[in-house]
Amino acid sequence: MQKYSLYSLVRNSFTRHRNWSPAWINHDLKKSYDVIIIGGGGHGLATAYYLAKGYGVTNIAVLERGWLGGGNVARNTVTIRSNYLRQESIPFFIKSVEMYEGLSNELNFNLMHSRRSMIDIIQTYPKLREITRKMYTMDIFGSTYKPISVSEIRRRIPTLTGGGKDSRLPIIAGMVHPEGAVNRHDAVAWGYARAASSLGVEIHQNTKVNSLLKNDDGTIRGVSTVKGEIWADRVAVAVSGHTTQLTDTVGLRLPLRSFNLSAFVSEPVKPMIDVVVNCPDLGVYLSQTAKGELVIGGAPDPGQSFRRGTNQLVFERTVGAMLELFPSFKKLKLLRQWGGTVDIAPDASPIISETEIPGLYITAGWWGGYKAIPAGGLTFANLIATNTPHQLTKSFTLDRFKTLDYILEPGTTTRV
Amino acid sequence: MLIIDCPFCGPRDEREFEYCGPYRKSRSDNMDDLSASDFIEYLIVPENPEGVGREFWWHKRGCGEWLLVVRDTKTHQILSTAEADAE
């Protein structure tokens, strides 16, 4: 791997930047691998990287249906945080946030990581009770959630002029989560791909997996792709919203439903919001990117969906909610919008688990999986390499559903 | 936005409806015949089709009836709407 540094930048400028080596290498598809990872998104690439780096497994194929950085790793709002409610979730997300903070150095790739605090705006008393409970639980595990006054909220977010005493839902309280951060989604995908490729991992783009294959004895045999069959003793599914489409092909039924979650981006404007603002009562959250655009996220579409579009009703509700709090944003034009397919378990917590088919592993149910990419990859790699769950994700296996032992997690943007 | 053709009220806008999950048949009356794992699967493993699927919608701000809607999850096209009967 060619190291990126000031020195390499200067040296390559003498040759007019024509001699940079490719960030990752394309290979021909082999007949068999030690591990096949389906899905070249954030979780798939991170899993491949940690398998190669930490467990010495390098004969890995990552199979991506489209192109790197084109799936859900690009279809999110890049919000990184660890303000969750459950004691099973919080340590996992703390680990992930910590890993993100050192990731630019580790991957030698500038992720443009920007720790900038997240401020939750509270407008109802039930929500206030919920986040107070969250504060105490987070405190046990070392994640920070501090109450701030309404005047302090308005000082830190000057554009927040709505939600006054006469409004429908006046702002009654706020919470600051200083660990909240944003970074650059493409860089996360490319950084992991480059680092994994340099360790010998093969990344195959435009290689859609049509189905999984089972041996006669019930163990996993491999996958059937558009480029033919490939075999491996261990197959890992990291495909976000399409998990059940693959597991159905070997008769494995999972408690997952797929939804469309959309986001909207405004035209770029001068810096005006330097925190991530989350308004759980109205169902909208936003942050300003380094380019100056506002990235606005809201609730999922009603009804299961694989459409990756935006729903007019969700759009109106999200933007309407934002304008209640930020009336001056009425003048902003929206430039882009996107939807991504995410799947969700009945308890809204993730699944990182082996399955009833020996050799088949899944990572799924990520509702807000972007923040979980480093720790998700690390723990999934641990599971694939050692066949035992990582300490941080031992609660997130499929076993919990056998006894309906739910980890109900209201720390996501959804109502389940 | 979806336009759902309510069999009782005619075509109405999605705002009047509440999505109530994918179709599943009513719970078996003979619970003794059902193993615990089968019952849990019945409870939590839903239909998740990429394509045409059946789902319940409640005409919450209209007639109040529950509807069985056949809808394509890739295009969002609604293929049929009927009264959800207790089968």
Residue with tokens 């109900």: A408
List the single residue in B55, B57, B73 with the smallest CB-CB distance to A306: B73
The answer to whether residues B21 and B44 touch, using CB atoms and an 8 Å cutoff, is no
Whether the per-residue pLDDT at B28 is higher than 90: the answer is: no
Q: A121-136: per-residue pLDDT in tens?
A: 999 999 999 999 999 9
Instruction: Spell out the domains of chain B, with CATH numbers in brackets.
Output: 3-25+42-83 (3.30.2270.10)
The verdict on B43 touching A (C-beta cutoff 8 Å) is yes
Q: A233-270: per-residue pLDDT in tens?
A: 999 999 999 999 999 999 999 999 999 999 999 999 99
A225, A311, A360, B73 from A219: Cα distances, Å:
18, 41, 8, 31
Question: Please, which pLDDT band fits residue B31 given cuts at 50, 70 and 90?
Answer: confident
The verdict on B77 touching A (C-beta cutoff 8 Å) is no
The 8-class DSSP code of residue A372 comes to G
Contact B46 A255 (CB under 8 A): yes
Where b means 16+ CB within 10 Å and e means fewer, B1-19 reads ebebebeeeeebebebbeb
Q: Which of B15, B3, B6, B4 is nearest to B83 (CA)?
A: B6
The verdict on B26 touching A (C-beta cutoff 8 Å) is no
Contact A307 B74 (CB under 8 A): yes
- What is chain B's Cα-based Rg? 15
Q: A6-48: per-residue pLDDT in tens?
A: 999 999 999 999 999 999 999 999 999 999 999 999 999 999 9
The pLDDT, as a whole number, for residue A229 is 97
Q: A331-384: per-residue pLDDT in tens?
A: 999 999 999 999 999 999 999 999 999 999 999 999 889 999 999 999 999 999
Name the 3-class secondary structure at A13: helix
Enumerate the domain spans of chain A: 6-82+85-94+97-107+185-255+346-402, 118-177+258-342
List the single residue in A253, A302, A404 with the smallest CB-CB distance to B45: A253
Q: Is A21 exposed, middle or buried (0-12, 13-18, 19+ CB in 10 A)?
A: exposed
Contact A303 B44 (CB under 8 A): no
Residue with tokens 């639980």: A137
Contact B48 A343 (CB under 8 A): yes
The verdict on B41 touching A (C-beta cutoff 8 Å) is yes
In this structure, how many other beta carbons lie within 10 angstroms of the beta carbon of residue B70? 15
Q: Which residues of B touch A258 (CB under 8 A)?
A: 48, 50, 73
The pLDDT, as a whole number, for residue A413 is 61
Domain A6-82+85-94+97-107+185-255+346-402 has CATH 3.50.50.60: yes
List the single residue in A253, A304, A343 with the smallest CB-CB distance to B22: A304
Q: Which of A117, A100, A193, A197 is nearest to A152 (CA)?
A: A117
DSSP string across A131-154: HHHHHHHHHHHT---EEE-HHHHH
Q: CB under 8 Å to A229, separation ≥6 — which residues?
A: A213, A222, A223
% of chain B beyond a pLDDT of 70 = 98
Q: Which of A27, A90, A358, A365 is nearest to A217 (CA)?
A: A358
- Nearest CA-CA distance, residue B37 and chain A, Å: 7
Contact A404 B73 (CB under 8 A): no
The answer to whether residues A121 and A325 touch, using CB atoms and an 8 Å cutoff, is yes
Question: Please, which pLDDT band fits residue A412 given cuts at 50, 70 and 90?
Answer: low
Contact A343 B55 (CB under 8 A): no
State the best of B40, B44, B77 to mutate against chain A, taking most chain A CBs within 10 Å: B44
The verdict on B40 touching A (C-beta cutoff 8 Å) is yes
The verdict on B44 touching A (C-beta cutoff 8 Å) is yes
Q: A118-177+258-342 adopts what CATH topology?
A: D-Amino Acid Oxidase; Chain A, domain 2 (3.30.9)
Complete edge-to-edge strand list for the sheet that includes strand A114-115: A79-80, A181-182, A114-115
Query: Whole-number mean pLDDT of chain A?
Result: 95
Q: Which residues of A touch B54 (CB under 8 A)?
A: none
ipTM of the complex: 0.94
Contact B50 A242 (CB under 8 A): yes
The pLDDT, as a whole number, for residue A416 is 46
Q: Which residues of A touch B50 (CB under 8 A)?
A: 242, 245, 258, 306
- What is chain A's Cα-based Rg? 22
Let me know if the fold of A6-82+85-94+97-107+185-255+346-402 is the same as that of A118-177+258-342: no
Q: B43-59: per-residue pLDDT in tens?
A: 999 999 999 999 999 99
| Length of chain A, in residues | 416
Alpha helix segments (H runs only) across A282-372 = 312-325
Beta bridge partner(s), residue A344: A257
% of chain A beyond a pLDDT of 90 = 95
Q: Which residues of B touch A404 (CB under 8 A)?
A: 40, 43-44
